Structure 1
Amino acid sequence: MQNAHFWIEQYDGSDEIIMTSDKIGIYNETNFENLLFLIDFSNLSEWVNGDEIHKWISELSIIPKSARYNEQGRLYQQQDYTELKNNIDADKIPESINIEYAITVKRTQMRTWPTYKQSYSSSNNQKIDYFTETAVYAAEPVIIYHTSNDGLWYFAAMYNYKGWIPVQDVALCSKEDLMKYQSTSDLLVVNAPVIYTPISSDLRVSGLHIDMGVSLPIKTVNPEGYVVNFPVQDQNTLEFAEITIPFTEDVSDTFLDYNVENIIEQAFKFIGEPYGWGGMNNARDCSSFVADIYRSVGIIFPRNSNQQELMSEAISFSGKSRTERLEILDSLRPGTPLYMPGHAMMYLGKFQQRHYIIHDVTTVYRKENDGKLTAIPLNQVSVTPLDVCNSKGSEYIMLLSTAVEVH
């Protein structure tokens, strides 16, 4: 049960292609057209109204209503937030902005405020930094809207998120160079949860973390492996360094075929990986777990779980009885993303009359015969039945809101 083949063998036709690459392209285009929070860089206006930038920043950089503590355990005061707001330098945003383009040169992050300072819910619990918004992977195209007062942060957007990103982690380029980079057809795709670039005398590309689903343009192939163009920064502008990714790494020269077998195998590569809020600790959270798996077959997902369940071919559980919910689950293909408020999961199948999921989760609860709840701390990618409970005693199966049939 804790391995991919157990679930693959339960399903007839696990190697059948669900969508070809052409159909995947159409599926992605449909979601970009219908979901306004996804950004198609190729169809952007070169100018953005400054009021829009103000709006996006004000929706992101919000002073929390509850107490927050920094990494030294000190309570944040109003003066601390005033300093953070001053660094946004919102008064310098003009009426109209000519956007810039860039590519990340390493795995980095988007943050709530233009700062590395951290924010925790208590002085003695530093598991979740609430100033962390999301990880941004290496070789990721981004749009630059604004620069912080200290010059160290850009307010930027990738295709599915906006936030503050470190200036040192991106390289500026022209739109033409970015489109050329994105349109390369010969791609090396990372299939492992993570690989690392070879140790090199060029420290810009030495030992870098590259996540599942990241694709890099292949320049050529030599006896040792794939030679790829990796983006690097030279005085803040984009250059490319050639690096060789060995054949021994878990990579492929195209996206994986989209079938049940590959989706389940990709999911189980993460078993035991620690949970990482917003990509903390070079890990991932529940929605990134699902998105990265599908990214390895070329399917693009929104960032957050509540956005992912708005994708095409969604089945609603709203108003359904337990019996009706079980019938829906029985009809689903293994690998189907499932959602409940605040959480993303992946359906595996049915075994001994229980439905199972794989998900990146912190804690689940078991309801005992006397009605009391027993906490089961997991804090990692795990396989659980759908009859586990949340902290309020509600079964996951009754909390399900949506299943997204990606086809």
Structure 2
Amino acid sequence: MPVSRLSRSLLILVLLAGMPSLVRAAQQPAEPLPLPASGVLGVEDAQLVPEFWISRLEQPDAVVLTPADIQAANARLLRLEPSLHDLAALPDTLSRQAVLGWIGGVSRLPGDPLFDEEGQRYPAAMAAGWQQSLALDRVPERVTPRFGLIVRRAPLRTFPTELRAFAAPGDVDIDRFQETAEFPGTPVAVVHESADGRWLFVLSPRYAAWVQRDFVALGARAAVLDYATRTPFRIVTGARVESVYTPEVPQVSRLEFDMTTRLPLATWLAPDQPVNGQTAYAAWPVTLPARGPDGELVFQPALIRKNADTADGYLPYTRANLIRQAFKFLGERYGWGHDFDGRDCSGFVSEVYGSLGVLLPRNTSRQAASPGLVHRSFGPGDGHAARLAAVQALQVGDLVFIPGHVMLVIGHLHGQPYVIHDVAGMRYRRADGTLADIKLNAVSVTPLLPLLFNDGAPLVDRMTSIVRVRH
């Protein structure tokens, strides 16, 4: 989110049919882009499977970064990136100033009016109530953080409210109070409560925002941090898997786990011991956090079917794995801040890389500019030719940033790079000069060139950064 958190992935991409002067300027062969019945310029059905792109690569299974390389890169990012929180390194007490800084960093009202789901404008008194619910006057001079684990997919919010807020009447896709979501087993540090006590302000490893108390099981600091590092474990490598249905323990029945969720194995169970009334021989017994009668942290066994898309560790970082992981989300509806049980552009790329063990910041603004990542930044002094040359030199796995959006490069075709990204839509000029508007609103494959930004400028002239997840 290079401009603001409200700009994430809202751009409309504008494409010109054929291969215009942008590509000729880069001395690439001019190839016309196909225009299928879908209207998605440059993309035919054959391109919608990962093997199409993998087959075009040399040594697609070569390891790009070893586990040791990734561990070192993650440690560097955690040390240098201010949006990340090393919960294990938090002191026993925090200053009031630090807590107010975290809350103030997210709980800000936009300057423009906000509307409810019926298209009615929220009155000023409502906004005042949201501010009062923060209970900032109750933050003491020294705060002792409490610790907990997320027990089910949990929305993290701008303010401690379930009310949805939209920028315009009828624009109900983008809830301005939705920040992100955390998955079961994510550790959090609780540093404040809302005025009514129903909401907690938490630090997760990659975010700081409000979450409903019922999504968090509070426990001893050591127990919470230990759970996040337990071995052995399974990593969810599919877009989404769920635990086996169990009426005996409803809290862990059919829980959804998104890609990157880490599930410690329940090694304390005997191999022939039934789990929640069911044999475990065809499933992985895992340990899940749950809430006790008073919201305290308890652990429950559950089952994940062995034919579900999980792995016994992070996948090797190869270009083939990266492409396969990205395509597991193809066609998923766009979900601002992980809304609609989906994800947005920065959530998409961070979970794809996360399944390989690679840590990225949560939002595009930090992904694009983090001092902990290898990136090339672009500014007013970078001319069109230099930007275009950088685009034509893109490699599989590179992340391309423009204001409010990130794209993942998957290969080259028709003389230009192609990307997969979670995006609102695209527009392109037909042969007769008219504009075609295509609403994508999903994880989609598109060509990168020739794109125009919202203001009509070539996309390459609006790039803010290219990040290459390498040494």
TM-score, length basis structure 1:
0.96
1:216 to 258, 263, 266: 263
Structure 1 counterpart of 2:315, which letter?
L
Unaligned runs of at least 5 residues, structure 2: 1-46, 272-279
Partner of 1:395: 458
Alignment correspondent of 1:328: 390
CA distance in 2, matches of 1:95, 1:370: 67
d(CA) in 2 for partners of 1:188, 1:302: 22
- Could you say which structure has the larger radius of gyration? 2
Partner of 2:333, secondary structure, is: coil
**Structure 1 residue aligned with 2:177:** 131
> Which residue identity is paired with 2:261?
V
Q: Pick from 320, 330, 346: which aligns with 1:271?
A: 330
Instruction: Name 1:405's counterpart in structure 2.
Output: 468
Counterparts of 1:371 and 1:160 in 2: how far apart (Å)? Answer: 45
User: Which 5+ residue runs of structure 1 have no aligned equivalent?
Assistant: none
Distance 1:353 1:325 in 2: 16
Cα distance in structure 2, aligned partners of 1:171 and 1:7: 43
Residues in 2 aligned to 1:84 and 1:317: alpha-carbon distance in whole angstroms: 38
| Identical counterparts, % of pairs | 30
TM-score (norm 2): 0.83
Report the residue type matching 2:148 in the other structure.
A
Local SS of the residue matching 1:219: coil
Residue 418 of structure 2 corresponds to 356
Give the whole-Å Cα distance in 1 for the aligned partners of 2:255 and 2:458.
41
Structure 1 residue 42 and structure 2 residue 88: aligned? yes
CA RMSD of aligned residues (A): 1.6
Q: AA paired with 2:375?
A: A
Q: CA deviation at 1:92?
A: 1.0
In the aligned structure 2, how far is the partner of 1:17 from the partner of 1:332? Answer: 18
Question: In 1, Cα distance between the equivalents of 2:378 and 2:327?
Answer: 26
CA deviations on 1:104-126 (whole Å, 9 max, x unpaired) are 00001110110101101222221
From 243, 252, 263, give the equivalent of 1:197.
Answer: 243
Distance 1:371 1:160, change over 3 A: farther
* Alpha-carbon shift at residue 371 of structure 1 (Å): 6.4
Greater relative contact order (CA < 8 Å, ≥ 6 in sequence): 2
- The match for 2:119 is 73
SS of 2:171's partner is coil
Q: CA deviation at 1:71?
A: 2.5
Say if 2:374 is the partner of 1:313: yes
CA pair 351-42 structure 1, distance change in 2 beyond 3 A = same
Query: 1:330 and 1:54 mapped to 2: Cα distance?
Result: 45
Alignment partner of 1:345 is 2:407: yes
Deviates more, 1:151-160 or 1:179-188: 179-188
Q: How is 1:162-201 mapped onto 2 (pairs within 5 angstroms)?
A: 162-201=208-247
Code of the residue aligned with 1:94 in structure 2: it is P
1:261 corresponds in structure 2 to 320
Pair 1:299 & 2:299 matched: no
Q: Distance in 1 between matches of 2:395 and 2:232?
A: 31
Amino acid at match of 1:346: L
Find the aligned partners of 1:92 and 1:376 in 2 and give their Cα distance.
49
Q: 1:367 touches 1:389 (CA, 8 Å); kept in 2?
A: no
Q: Give, in angstroms, the shift of residue 179 of structure 1.
A: 2.2
Letter aligned with residue 315 of structure 1: R
Q: CA deviation at 1:56?
A: 2.3
SS in structure 2 at match of 1:15: coil
**TM-aligned CA deviation for residue 257 of structure 1:** 0.5
One-letter code of the match for 2:238? A
| Paired position in structure 2 for 1:88 | 134
- Aligned equivalents of 2:128, 2:308: Cα separation in 1: 47
Contact 1:373–1:393 (8 Å) recurs in 2: no
Q: CA deviation at 1:322?
A: 4.2
Shift of 1:165: 0.4
Q: What one-letter code is carried by the residue in structure 2 that aligns with 1:275?
A: Y
**Shift of the alpha carbon at 1:372?**
5.7
- Once the two structures are overlaid, the 10-residue window that deviates more, 200-209 or 53-62, is 53-62
Aligned length: 407
Spell out, residue by residue over 1:365-403, the C-alpha distance to the aligned partner (whole angstroms, 9 max, x if none).
214567664322100010111123333223333322222
Aligned partners of 1:260, 1:237: CA distance in 2, in Å? 42
Determine helix, strand or coil for the equivalent of 2:170: coil
Give the AA of the match of 2:467.
Answer: V
> Deviation of residue 244 (structure 1)?
1.2
Alignment of 1:106-125 (within 5 A): 106-125=152-171
Q: CA 1:324 to 1:146, structure 2 compared with 1: closer, same or farther past 3 Å?
A: same
Letter in 2 for 1:400: M
1:27 equivalenced with 2:89 (yes/no): no
Contact 1:365 1:390 (C-alpha < 8 Å) held by counterparts: no
Shift of 1:285: 0.2
* Greater CA drift, 250-259 or 171-180: 171-180
Q: Which residue of 2 aligns with 1:228?
A: 286
Shift of 1:68: 0.8
Question: Would you say the 8 A contact 1:272–1:381 is kept in 2?
Answer: yes
Shift of residue 326 of structure 1?
4.0
**Conserved? CA contact 2:118–2:170, under 8 Å:** no
